[in-house]
């Protein structure tokens, strides 16, 4: 089978499946259409582990989602166990309890930003610290450690430097291990303590496991949300009519959050699925759209391209805060659907809701001058300079 390189035109949906070369220089299948991406996400013949991890094709050097993870024989059981253990951390009760705290963090960050003299860098002032503060709050990580945490988290997600990614993960893990010791001695009302004290089928987690899960949550919950905030801000700042509609009608906030999550910009490199495609390995031979995906083959799922599939979304290219329904795949789908989705939605809702009541922001530089963070798994911007009328 010959397949074309889908990256000659990232906007065209192209063939249902294409052969591409990853950042690591390995071969992968790329799937970009909405129905196909959703079907593969729901299909347990595709997983994250590999029977022979040393030989597996890699997406990148990143230690997280750069290559296979977990044990091939126990992946399914482990996924179920992990989700049962971590799920309660994002319960409706816990989210309701966090809401006023998140609203307070948002207000503090915006107060500090608006006392500055414009232009200010919104990425530094809000996009980075908000999810960091929230995840620290959820897990019970002291915010005073944020600078270390930021460096390690950036290191783990580095796509090009395996050594850096490994040492980032190691540092994050050591840090969490120390914190877990402290929580084990004196449990508090936070998720690390919950992980340590809640038994699953009669067995509680070991401190090592809790530390690994904690490090995973820090990572999963941080850069992804930073990127969503940066991306959402750029969309609102470059669509004044959508911003005005949202400012005029508070009822639009939930729809705006979903559209922020769905939307992506080609000019900021967000449609390069070789970097940002979600990884799966075929656990057995699978017939797909006329080709055989062989057991062990790497498959990249283009969530962002799927979110722009005109067969599923009318006027998919447009940013429309009134779009309904909006069944985007930004949090994945099926057995691995993002556990932190309620938290991410809450953060975005509080932030973009609060901005409605603040001075109207403008981009302080042309969009073409915004620089995407190309070496990072989750993308986002180097800086987001904004200004406002004093
Ligand atoms: C806008 C922000 C976020 C986005 C776009 C996002 C996206 C995703 C996606 C696409 C997956 C599916 C991965 C797969 O199928 O292989 C996922 C899984 C996950 N996310 Fe998120 N996420 C976000 C925020 C968060 C937050 C705030 C947390 C927690 C603090 C979190 C925790 C998780 C966890 C634990 C999983 C793993 C579920 C599993 O492996 O079964 N995420 N996320």
Which CATH number goes with the domain that contains 348? Answer: 1.10.630.10
Cβ atoms within 10 Å of 80's Cβ, excluding its own: 12
Number of domains into which the chain is organized: 1
In a domain, 315, yes or no: yes
pLDDT digit string, tens, across residues 27-73:
999 999 999 999 999 999 999 999 999 999 999 877 677 899 999 99
In a domain, 328, yes or no: yes
Domain with 369, as residue range(s), is: 6-387
Q: Whose CA is nearest to atom 32 of ligand 1?
A: 340
Confidence at residue 1, expressed as pLDDT on a 0 to 100 scale? 34
In a domain, 206, yes or no: yes
In a domain, 1, yes or no: no
Confidence at residue 2, expressed as pLDDT on a 0 to 100 scale? 35
86 lines ligand 1 (CB under 6 A): yes
- Return the minimum-mean-pLDDT range out of 109-113, 181-185, 270-274, 355-359: 270-274
In a domain, 340, yes or no: yes
Give yes or no for residue 12 having a pLDDT over 70: no
In a domain, 318, yes or no: yes
* pTM attached to this predicted model: 0.92
Distance CA 24, CA 3 (A): 20
In a domain, 377, yes or no: yes
Q: How many CA atoms lie within 13 A of 382 on its CB side?
A: 10
Confidence at residue 378, expressed as pLDDT on a 0 to 100 scale? 57
In a domain, 270, yes or no: yes
Cite the beta strand spans of the chain per DSSP E: 17-21, 27-31, 46-47, 120-121, 278-282, 286-288, 291-293, 298-301, 362-363, 385-387
How far apart are the CA of 247 and the centre of ligand 1, in A? 29
Distance CA 188, CA 211 (A): 16
Bond prior to 119 in cis (omega within 30° of 0): yes
| CA dihedral (218, 224, 227, 229) positive or negative | negative
Report the residue among 229, 331, 347 best suited for mutation to probe ligand 1: largest number of ligand atoms under 8 A from its CB: 331
- Return the minimum-mean-pLDDT range out of 159-168, 186-195, 206-215: 159-168
135 lines ligand 1 (CB under 6 A): yes
Cβ atoms of 22 and 277 closer than 8 Å: no
Rg (CA), the chain: 21
Q: Whose CA is nearest to atom 16 of ligand 1?
A: 336
CA distances from 7 to 21, 61, 259, 300 (A): 10, 21, 25, 13
Bond prior to 84 in cis (omega within 30° of 0): no
Burial of 54 (0-12, 13-18, 19+ CB in 10 A): exposed
Residue 280 CA: nearest ligand 1 atom is 16
């Amino acid at each position: 089978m010959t397949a074309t390189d889908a990256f000659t035109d990232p906007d065209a949906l192209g063939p249902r499946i294409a052969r591409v070369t990853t950042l690591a220089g390995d071969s992968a299948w790329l799937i970009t259409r909405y129905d196909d991406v959703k079907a593969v996400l729901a299909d347990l013949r595709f997983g994250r582990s590999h029977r022979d991890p040393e030989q597996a094709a890699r997406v990148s050097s990143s230690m997280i989602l750069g290559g296979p993870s977990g044990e091939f024989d126990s992946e399914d059981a482990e996924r179920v166990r992990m989700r049962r253990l971590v799920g309660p951390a994002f319960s409706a009760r816990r989210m309701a309890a966090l809401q006023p705290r998140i609203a307070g963090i948002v207000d503090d960050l915006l107060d500090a930003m608006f006392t500055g003299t414009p232009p200010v860098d919104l990425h530094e002032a809000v996009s980075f610290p908000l999810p960091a503060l929230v995840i620290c709050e959820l897990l019970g990580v002291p915010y005073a450690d944020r600078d270390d945490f930021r460096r390690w988290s950036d290191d783990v997600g580095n796509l090009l430097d395996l050594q850096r990614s490994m040492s980032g993960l190691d540092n994050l893990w050591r840090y969490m291990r120390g914190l877990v010791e402290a929580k084990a001695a004196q449990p508090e009302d936070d998720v690390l303590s919950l992980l340590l004290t809640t038994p699953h089928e009669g067995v509680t987690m070991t401190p090592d496991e809790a530390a690994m899960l904690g490090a995973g949550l820090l990572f999963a919950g941080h850069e992804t949300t930073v990127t969503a905030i940066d991306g959402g801000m750029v969309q609102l700042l470059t669509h004044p009519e959508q911003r005005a509609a949202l400012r005029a009608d508070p009822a639009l906030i939930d729809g705006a959050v979903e559209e922020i999550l769905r939307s992506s910009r080609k000019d900021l490199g967000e449609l390069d699925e070789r970097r940002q495609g979600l990884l799966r390995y075929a656990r057995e031979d699978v017939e797909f759209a006329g080709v055989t995906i062989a057991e062990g083959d790497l498959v990249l799922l283009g969530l962002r391209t799927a979110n722009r599939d005109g067969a599923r979304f009318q006027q998919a290219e447009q940013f429309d805060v009134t779009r309904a329904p909006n069944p985007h795949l930004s949090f994945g789908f099926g057995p691995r659907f993002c556990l932190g989705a309620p938290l991410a939605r809450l953060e975005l809702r509080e932030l973009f809701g609060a901005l409605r009541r603040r001075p109207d922001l403008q981009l302080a530089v042309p969009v073409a001058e915004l620089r995407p963070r190309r070496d990072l798994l989750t993308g986002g911007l180097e800086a987001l300079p904004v200004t406002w009328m004093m």
